[in-house]
């Protein structure tokens, strides 16, 4: 078993809602404040809940469609909760030249998920990424906020075990 | 008290530098060895990372690559007295860092301090010639600063190679009560990491460059648009900005000059197209990163409709040395119309990867073999992609091309941001051509049809070619489609995707099921 136990709950707690409101207040007068606001929300909550689009739109004098448009334009933002940990595998050319296709196939099989999916136990969400700026040490992956170079399936599996159980 | 250096650069960290650093501190304490641990940037020799250095009377001595499991034996060899015979006998001993051939052969101007200093020490930055450029700039008129940048011959290092001074001059002469300086740190090209290294390993040089830009053109607010994939860079940059503010190098009345420049980091959100300057500006304004029509140029109507300098990290980080040592000093490096130096990033299937800053003019072959040491796999290098995912693939017959914007243009290739990705003979170039379309489809902003639709049609055509379906017709279709994207796209994403596609087709026709003769037809 590669992962660790955690549930995926998409109902907002009162505390989370209060956090979001505080972020909206802090950003509503910042020039071009929507992007930093979305980052702040996702950093705290793990995703940008669609239910708060109307509040964001009202505070920033935008339409709900505009908020939706921005959230969905950027690969980084997501509208649903994800696994406890995020594993990003670099799909770009440099990593391909060092065998990243084999790595991604093996990791998908090992985790039992495809890209944009979360392991059955909710521990790891697998995402593709196009360059981590670690091209001198391909293939590269990023697990949560740490980048790792010269990876293979065994090493990544160990890293996952460490963050889940370590 | 001996100084021991362990890099804090992302690449060093990705190879275990944090654990190595912890183990060194732990082992020193256990043994009662008195050390000061300094977290420096990376020297850019990635096959030797984590590269540990020890200060001596003769200079810094390097050991590498040092894994946590090597630390015990290093202490047993007395590596903190790095000039001792026992330290020299250690298998990871590399000699004086400055004598390493990789570094000796380089001309490090933009990267002069990278790997040497603690990135967040403003004192060290100043001690190593930092803020000399700003000091000079504060005594000059805006027009003279712009003239120095123009005379240096500096061209946009993000990839477009547009003369930086001309861009600045347009902003200087655009009347407005508010102007902006925007740094494009959305380094999305595969095979590139020089922006990340500057931001993580010498952030003050970027801050200084942007401050000079602001003073030159009369802009009081700067933004750095930084990739969300670079969390370490974000932390370093925010801390560096905080320190620069505290020390009076940012904010109001910079160094008592009466000049004002505020600087803020904005995080990108994983859209490659936001590396395109107008898409970046839309994103900074809090919108979808849709490419704008040009004109108007950002220099006239940029961020929030105001005159804006948009420059790449490397361009801005090169400004301080130009203002410090003079335009001519910088222009004396290079060849033809490519003046100065290019921080080249060796990546992919190479034995020795890392950062090589050289005057323009070195050949690809020198980089791949003299610096790179050939392929990592030991198999012949078959293809090299220069300039990121929109750059052409070059075959061995073109490896003697000098790194120069115009020379590359002559062979229908680009230098771009200076990334070089090597592939060995196992590469399937038809697959790489298909990938180029796939990447374009994933990253297209969707504003123009050739890019939005053409990229998906390109994937489909490539699939048919690989399967051998209606082969001659589909190859012709691929060329037609490429022609439409080249000439009809709004920006370089759609407009340059044909570079990797057609270069793969033209140089490696056998991978597309064609003979050389068929490909030529």
pLDDT tens per residue, range A146-165: 999 999 999 999 999 999 88
CA A54 from centre of chain = 23
CB atoms within 10 A of CB A146: 15
Q: What is the mean pLDDT of residues B198-216?
A: 98
Q: Which two tokens stand for residue B520?
A: 């030529």
Contacts of A166 in chain B (CB under 8 A): none
What distance in Å separates residue A149's CA from the closest CA in chain B? Answer: 5
The predicted structure's pLDDT at residue B341: 98
What is the average pLDDT value for chain B, to the nearest integer?
Answer: 97
At B291, phi and psi to the nearest 5? Answer: -65, 140
Would you say residue A1 has pLDDT above 50?
no
Angle between helices B203-217 and B164-172 (to 10 degrees): 40
Question: Residue A135 and residue B353: Cβ atoms within 8 Å?
Answer: yes
CB B394 within 8 A of CB B383: yes
Question: Residue B270 and residue A142: Cβ atoms within 8 Å?
Answer: no
The predicted structure's pLDDT at residue A11: 85
The pairing of strands B221-226 and B354-359 is unpaired
Nearest residue of B to residue A31, measured between CA atoms: B285
CATH 3.40.50.300 at B2-104, yes or no: no
The predicted structure's pLDDT at residue B516: 66
Would you say residue A94 has pLDDT above 90?
yes
| CA-closest candidate to residue B5, choices B107, B97, B91, B77 | B97
| Beta strand residue intervals within B149-234, DSSP E | 180-185, 221-226
Which DSSP state fits B10?
A: H
Question: Residue B192 and residue A133: Cβ atoms within 8 Å?
Answer: yes
Q: What topology does CATH give the domain B429-520? A: de novo design (two linked rop proteins) (1.20.1440)
| CA-closest candidate to residue B199, choices B223, B235, B164 | B235
Q: Which of residues 21-40 of A touch B (CB under 8 A)?
A: 31-36, 38-39
| CA-closest candidate to residue A48, choices A82, A83, A98 | A82
Q: How far is Cα B6 from Cα B37, in angstroms, rounded to an integer?
A: 7
Question: Residue B349 and residue A97: Cβ atoms within 8 Å?
Answer: yes
Contacts of A95 in chain B (CB under 8 A): 190
B490 three-state secondary structure: coil
What distance in Å separates residue A50's CA from the closest CA in chain B? Answer: 17
Q: Which of residues 378-397 of B touch A (CB under 8 A)?
A: 385, 389
| CA-closest candidate to residue B337, choices B163, B132, B104, B133 | B163
Would you say residue A4 has pLDDT above 90?
no
Q: Which two tokens stand for residue A121?
A: 């136990």
Q: What is the mean pLDDT of residues B167-185?
A: 98
Would you say residue A7 has pLDDT above 60?
no
Would you say residue B394 has pLDDT above 50?
yes
Question: Residue A75 and residue B422: Cβ atoms within 8 Å?
Answer: no
The 10s digit of each residue's pLDDT in A34-60 is 999 999 999 999 999 999 999 999 999
| DSSP run (H or E) holding B328 | helix B327-331
Would you say residue A2 has pLDDT above 90?
no
At A125, phi and psi to the nearest 5? Answer: -105, 130
The predicted structure's pLDDT at residue B521: 55
- What is the pLDDT confidence band of residue B520, given thresholds at 50, 70 and 90? low
The predicted structure's pLDDT at residue B316: 98
Q: What topology does CATH give the domain A85-165? A: Glutaredoxin (3.40.30)
The predicted structure's pLDDT at residue A153: 98
Would you say residue B345 has pLDDT above 80?
yes
DSSP states of B42-109 as a string? --SBGGG-S-EEEEETTEEEEE-S--HHHHHHHHHTTTTSTTSHHHHTSTTEEEEGGG-HHHHT---S
Q: Which two tokens stand for residue B302?
A: 């940029």
Is the omega angle on the peptide bond into residue B275 within 30 degrees of 0, that is, cis?
A: no
CB-based burial of residue B295 (10 Å sphere; 0-12 exposed, 13-18 middle, 19+ buried)?
exposed
The predicted structure's pLDDT at residue B515: 75
The 10s digit of each residue's pLDDT in B467-479 is 999 999 999 999 9
Contacts of B188 in chain A (CB under 8 A): 130-131
Q: How far is Cα B269 from Cα A76, in angstroms, rounded to an integer?
A: 5
Nearest residue of A to residue B231, measured between CA atoms: A145
Find the CB nearest B15 among A74, A130, A150.
A150
Find the CB nearest B193 among A70, A77, A135.
A135
- What is the pLDDT confidence band of residue B512, given thresholds at 50, 70 and 90? very high
Residue B306 to residues B175, B221, B298, B462, Cα–Cα distance (Å): 9, 11, 8, 43
Question: Residue A31 and residue B229: Cβ atoms within 8 Å?
Answer: no
The predicted structure's pLDDT at residue B355: 98
Q: What topology does CATH give the domain B334-424? A: Ubiquitin-like (UB roll) (3.10.20)
Contacts of A87 in chain B (CB under 8 A): none
The predicted structure's pLDDT at residue B519: 62
Q: Is A152 on the interface with B (CB under 8 A)?
A: no
Q: Is A129 on the interface with B (CB under 8 A)?
A: yes
Q: How far is Cα B307 from Cα B172, in angstroms, rounded to an integer?
A: 9
| CA-closest candidate to residue A126, choices A151, A89, A97, A90 | A89
CB B248 within 8 A of CB B255: yes
Q: Is A142 on the interface with B (CB under 8 A)?
A: yes
Nearest residue of A to residue B419, measured between CA atoms: A135
Contacts of A71 in chain B (CB under 8 A): none
| DSSP run (H or E) holding B147 | helix B142-152
Q: Is A148 on the interface with B (CB under 8 A)?
A: yes
Q: Is B287 on the interface with A (CB under 8 A)?
A: yes
Which DSSP state fits B363?
A: B
Question: Residue A129 and residue B192: Cβ atoms within 8 Å?
Answer: no
Contacts of B376 in chain A (CB under 8 A): 98
What lies within 8 Å, CB to CB, of B152 at 6+ separation is: B165, B322, B327, B328, B330, B331, B339, B340
Size of interface A-B (CB pairs under 8 A): 147
Q: Which two tokens stand for residue B444?
A: 């297209």
DSSP states of B161-184 as a string? --BHHHHHHHHHTS--S--EEEEE
Question: Residue B229 and residue A142: Cβ atoms within 8 Å?
Answer: yes
The 3-class SS string of chain A reads: CCCCCCCCCCCCCHHHHHHHHHHHHHHCCCCCCHHHHHHHHHHHHCCCCHHHHHHHHHHCCCCHHHHHHHHHHCCCCCCCCCCCEEEEEECCHHHHCCCHHHHHHHHHHHHCCCCCEECCCCCEEEEEECCCCCHHHCCCEEECCEEECCCCHHHHHHHHHHHHHC
Q: In chain A, what are the domain boundaries?
A: 14-73, 85-165
CB B479 within 8 A of CB B514: no
Question: Residue B229 and residue A129: Cβ atoms within 8 Å?
Answer: yes
What distance in Å separates residue B264's CA from the closest CA in chain A? Answer: 11
The predicted structure's pLDDT at residue B517: 65
Would you say residue B113 has pLDDT above 50?
yes
The 10s digit of each residue's pLDDT in B279-296 is 999 999 999 999 999 999
CB B427 within 8 A of CB B387: no
Contacts of B430 in chain A (CB under 8 A): none
What is the average pLDDT value for chain A, to the nearest integer?
Answer: 94
Selected residue of B7, B11, B14 to mutate for chain A interface (largest A Cβ count, 10 A): B14
Which DSSP state fits B390?
A: G
* CA atoms within 13 Å, Cβ hemisphere of A89: 26
Q: In chain B, what are the domain boundaries?
A: 2-104, 122-331, 334-424, 429-520
| DSSP run (H or E) holding B148 | helix B142-152
Contacts of A92 in chain B (CB under 8 A): 190-191, 389, 439
CATH homologous superfamily of domain B122-331? Answer: NADH-ubiquinone oxidoreductase 51kDa subunit (3.40.50.11540)
CB A123 within 8 A of CB B179: no
ipTM: 0.96
Q: Is B475 on the interface with A (CB under 8 A)?
A: no
At A89, phi and psi to the nearest 5? Answer: -105, 130
Q: Is A75 on the interface with B (CB under 8 A)?
A: yes
Q: How far is Cα B157 from Cα B363, in angstroms, rounded to an integer?
A: 18
In the beta sheet, which residues pair with residue A127? Answer: A88
Q: Which of residues 311-370 of B touch A (CB under 8 A)?
A: 345-349, 353-355
The 10s digit of each residue's pLDDT in B50-89 is 999 999 999 999 999 999 999 999 999 999 999 999 999 9
Q: What is the mean pLDDT of residues A5-30?
A: 87
């Amino acid at each position: 078993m590669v992962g660790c136990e955690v549930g995926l709950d998409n109902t907002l707690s009162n505390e989370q809602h209060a956090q979001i409101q505080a972020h909206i207040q802090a950003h509503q007068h910042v020039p071009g404040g929507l992007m930093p606001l979305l980052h702040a929300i996702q950093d705290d909550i793990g995703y940008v809940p669609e239910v708060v689009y109307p509040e964001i739109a009202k505070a920033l004098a935008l339409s709900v469609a505009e908020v939706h448009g921005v959230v969905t334009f950027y690969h980084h933002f997501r509208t649903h909760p994800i696994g406890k940990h995020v594993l990003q595998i670099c799909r770009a050319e440099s990593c391909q030249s060092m065998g990243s296709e084999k790595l991604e196939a093996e990791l998908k099989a090992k985790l039992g998920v495809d890209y944009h999916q979360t392991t059955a136990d909710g521990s790891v969400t697998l995402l593709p990424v196009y360059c981590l700026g670690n091209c001198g040490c391909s293939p590269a992956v990023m697990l949560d906020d740490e980048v790792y170079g010269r990876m293979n399936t065994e090493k990544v599996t160990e890293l996952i075990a460490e963050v889940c159980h370590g | 008290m001996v100084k021991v250096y362990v890099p804090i650069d992302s690449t060093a960290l990705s190879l275990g530098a944090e654990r190595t650093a912890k183990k060194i501190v732990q082992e020193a304490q256990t043994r009662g060895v008195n050390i000061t641990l300094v977290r420096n940037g990376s020297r850019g020799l990635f096959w030797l990372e984590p590269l540990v250095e020890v200060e001596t009377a003769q200079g810094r001595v390097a050991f590498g690559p040092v894994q946590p499991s090597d630390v015990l034996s290093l202490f047993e060899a007395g590596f903190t007295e790095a000039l001792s015979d026992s330290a020299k006998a250690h298998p990871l001993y590399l000699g004086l860092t400055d004598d390493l051939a990789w570094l000796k052969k380089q001309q490090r101007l933009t990267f002069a301090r990278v790997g040497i200093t603690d990135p967040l020490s403003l004192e060290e930055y100043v001690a190593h010639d930092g803020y000399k450029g700003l000091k000079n700039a504060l005594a000059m008129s805006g027009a003279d600063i712009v003239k120095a940048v123009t005379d240096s011959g500096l061209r946009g290092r993000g990839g477009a190679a547009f003369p930086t001074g001309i861009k600045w001059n347009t902003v200087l002469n655009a009347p407005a009560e508010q102007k902006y300086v925007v740094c494009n740190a959305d380094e999305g090209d595969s095979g590139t990491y020089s922006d990340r290294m500057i931001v993580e390993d010498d952030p003050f040089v970027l801050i200084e460059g942007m401050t000079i830009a602001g003073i030159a053109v009369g802009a009081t607010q700067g933004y750095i648009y930084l990739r969300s994939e670079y969390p370490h860079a974000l932390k370093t940059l925010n801390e560096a900005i905080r320190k620069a503010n505290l020390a009076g190098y940012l904010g109001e009345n910079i160094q008592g000059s009466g000049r004002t420049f505020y600087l803020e980091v904005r995080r990108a959100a994983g859209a490659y197209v936001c590396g395109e300057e107008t898409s970046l500006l839309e994103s900074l304004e809090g919108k979808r990163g849709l490419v704008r029509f040009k004109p108007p140029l950002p220099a006239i109507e940029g961020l929030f409709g105001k005159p804006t300098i948009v420059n790449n990290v490397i361009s801005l980080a090169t400004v301080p040395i130009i203002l410090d040592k003079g335009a001519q000093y910088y222009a004396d490096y290079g060849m033809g119309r490519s003046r100065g130096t290019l921080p080249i990033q060796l990546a992919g299937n190479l034995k020795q990867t890392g950062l090589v800053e050289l005057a323009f003019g070195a050949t690809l072959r020198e980089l791949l073999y003299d610096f790179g040491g050939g392929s990592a796999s030991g198999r012949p290098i078959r293809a090299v992609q220069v300039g990121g995912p929109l750059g052409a693939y070059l075959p061995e017959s073109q490896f003697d091309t000098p790194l120069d914007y115009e020379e590359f243009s002559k062979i229908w290739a680009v230098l771009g941001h200076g990334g070089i990705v090597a592939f060995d003979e196992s590469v399937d170039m038809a697959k790489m051509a298909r990938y180029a379309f796939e990447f374009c489809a994933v990253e297209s902003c969707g504003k123009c049809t050739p890019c939005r639709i053409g990229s998906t049609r390109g994937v489909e055509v490539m699939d048919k070619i690989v399967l051998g379906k209606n082969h001659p017709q589909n190859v012709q279709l691929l060329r037609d489609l490429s022609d439409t994207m080249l000439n009809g796209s709004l920006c370089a994403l759609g407009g340059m995707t044909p570079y990797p596609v057609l270069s793969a087709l033209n140089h490696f026709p056998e991978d597309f099921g064609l003979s050389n003769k068929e490909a030529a037809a």
